[in-house]
Amino acid sequence: MKKILFAPALVLTFLGTALAAPEMVTLPASDYKAILEQLKTLQTRVETLEHQSPTTKATSAAMPNKLAKDVELIYDTLDEVETKTLKDRINLGAELRTRVDNFKVKNHLYFSTGSTGTQESNDNSWTNRFRLNLDADIQKNLKFTGRLTAYKNFADSDSPNADVLGDSNNAHLPDGSNIKLDRAYVDWIPSNMPIPLAITFGRHPSSEGPPFEIKENRKRQSTYPALLFDGEADGVVATIGLERYTGWKDSGIRFAWGKSYQDDDDVNSYLDAPSGLDDSNVFAAFFETQIPGINDSLLVLSALRANDLVADFTSLGITPAANIGDIDLYGIHAQANKVMGSNFALFLSLGLDKTHPNGTTMSYGPYTMGLLNSDGTSSHSGWAVYTGLAYTIPSPRLNNPKIGFEYNHGSDYWFSFTSGSTELYNKLATRGDVYDIYYIQPFNDNLYARFGYTYADYDYALSGYHIGDFGDSEEKLRNAYFLMDCRF
């Protein structure tokens, strides 16, 4: 092409030169200018063609017209699809759980009245839990994860609309702008750091931690072992990868900070309340690793300090709320998901707490209550053990169902941050013994059923409370349940 375009130019030049020497050719000035202009245009065209990509040349030159049109059409379709894909910044997933529980409770101590119930039960307590899971790979080193949750009793919304018309119009009438933010956090791995570092900030994945994934039949859901922390938490976490230094797979150390209580003025929410409480700050460090020599395993060592714990029972008419002291928590969690390559999963979790009361007490009915004491000053220690195993039955015909057993024991004065427990009676807070057996029947990759039975024998009253010392208990709880869980 280049050659062809240059030919007229050469001819013109030759003609001009040849005719100039022996014979002169006289051209009108306008013709001469036109020839020069034509030369210039040709030169520009040649340069343009030289700068075009080889792909273009191949496409236009080599392809038949129909094929070239088809390719263009495919490109246009790809453009639309790719544009739509790139605009979809968040991936959505969902899970729905419907559960029915049968509860029987004996000798439960009612905090508000100070009396002990004889026997109470609920033959069929039905709940629905819907979760919308979100995630986005924002950048190569920046990831967002979130979860919005609606969790309710059947036919029970406790909303203003429910007063007259029940639950059936709760999502169909104006009723505020709240949704429940279960978790929303960003993982950021800064580039060019001298050490492997990840920063996580937001509302953390701090519920249903190890070993709950065994019973929940899913991947690990939380950074923290459930015995020490099972709930929602806002904070910042720095994780330093240690694998390159220790040689232990997935080893790392985490430093976490968060607040379990932030004081605010109800009128001006950005200000502290006048004469308000100190915030409760939680500082924690975790070391975790895969146990050397054991594939698909986990070891977590935990230490946590929560300062200025708050007792706030203003809704019961106990005023004022107060800071009642600090607490330390320590934990060891070990877990093997395929013991010796078998279908057995096994775990053992230990916890220890120690209180540092500040002398503050509050009174309610017959009680005087400080931090796990009734005098405001006594410091106590508690401990807990949580262990269990599960066996996946290798039966493809039955979709490999799973059977599991768990046991946990908490001493007097055992307390940890497990108020967000999946089990509504806060199983791991129990000061006593709990036996739990379950069977999981998968139907396919997205749907499974679980039924189980739990028996809790409480040695001390009002497990899960961090205030007061309510003495011995004869409380027993029996819970049989069935649930269907669908995730997609």
Partner 1 sequence: MKKLLIQMTIGAFLCASAAVATADSQGLFLDKCGSCHKRGGQAAVVNPADKAGRVWEKYFARGRHPVDMGINEGDLGAVIQYLADHAADSDQPASAVIPK
Q: By CB under 8 A, is residue 488 in contact with partner 1? A: no
Q: By CB under 8 A, is residue 86 in contact with partner 1? A: yes
Nearest CB to partner 1, comparing residues 140 and 244:
140
Nearest CB to partner 1, comparing residues 68 and 484:
68
For residues 171 and 130, give the distance between their C-alpha atoms in angstroms, rounded to a whole number. Answer: 14
Q: By CB under 8 A, is residue 250 in contact with partner 1? A: no
Nearest approach in angstroms of CB 224 to partner 1 is: 35
- What number of chain residues touch partner 1 (CB under 8 A)? 15
Integer Rg of the chain from CA: 35
Strand ranges (E), 215-296? 234-241, 252-261, 280-289
Q: By CB under 8 A, is residue 48 in contact with partner 1? A: yes
- Contact pick of 55, 118, 177, 192 for partner 1 (by CB under 8 A): 55
Beta bridge partners of 198: 239
Exposed/middle/buried for 2, CB within 10 Å: 0-12, 13-18, 19+?
Answer: exposed
For residues 409 and 406, give the distance between their C-alpha atoms in angstroms, rounded to a whole number. Answer: 10
Q: By CB under 8 A, is residue 72 in contact with partner 1? A: yes
Quick check: 358 and 325 in contact, CB under 8 A?
A: yes
Q: By CB under 8 A, is residue 53 in contact with partner 1? A: yes
For residues 462 and 449, give the distance between their C-alpha atoms in angstroms, rounded to a whole number. Answer: 31
Q: By CB under 8 A, is residue 62 in contact with partner 1? A: no
Q: Which helix (H) or strand (E) holds 453?
A: strand 447-458
Nearest approach in angstroms of CB 10 to partner 1 is: 24
Fill in the DSSP letter of residue 19: H
Which span (10-18, 52-60, 166-174, 370-378) binds partner 1, by CB under 8 A? 52-60
Q: By CB under 8 A, is residue 82 in contact with partner 1? A: yes
- Contact pick of 14, 32, 75, 154 for partner 1 (by CB under 8 A): 75
Nearest CB to partner 1, comparing residues 37 and 120:
37
Task: Count the Cβ atoms, other than its own, within 10 Å of residue 158.
Answer: 11
- Contact pick of 83, 268, 275, 315 for partner 1 (by CB under 8 A): 83
Nearest approach in angstroms of CB 63 to partner 1 is: 13
Q: By CB under 8 A, is residue 140 in contact with partner 1? A: no
Q: By CB under 8 A, is residue 87 in contact with partner 1? A: yes
Q: By CB under 8 A, is residue 156 in contact with partner 1? A: no
Which span (79-87, 183-191, 292-300, 428-436) binds partner 1, by CB under 8 A? 79-87
**Contact residues for 351 (Cβ-Cβ < 8 A; gap 6+):** 227, 228, 329, 330, 331, 383, 384, 385, 386, 414, 416
Q: By CB under 8 A, is residue 89 in contact with partner 1? A: yes
**Contact residues for 66 (Cβ-Cβ < 8 A; gap 6+):** none
Q: By CB under 8 A, is residue 41 in contact with partner 1? A: no
Determine what percent of the chain falls in helix, strand and coil, rounding each to the nearest 5: 20, 45, 35
Q: By CB under 8 A, is residue 249 in contact with partner 1? A: no
**Which amino acid, one-letter code, is at 418?**
T
Nearest approach in angstroms of CB 49 to partner 1 is: 10
Which span (85-93, 193-201, 283-291, 336-344) binds partner 1, by CB under 8 A? 85-93
Torsion of CA 370, 373, 378, 380, to 10 degrees: -120
For residue 456, which of 422, 428, 487 has the smallest C-alpha distance?
428
Contact footprint for partner 1 (CB under 8 A): 48, 51-53, 55-56, 59, 72, 75, 79, 82-83, 86-87, 89
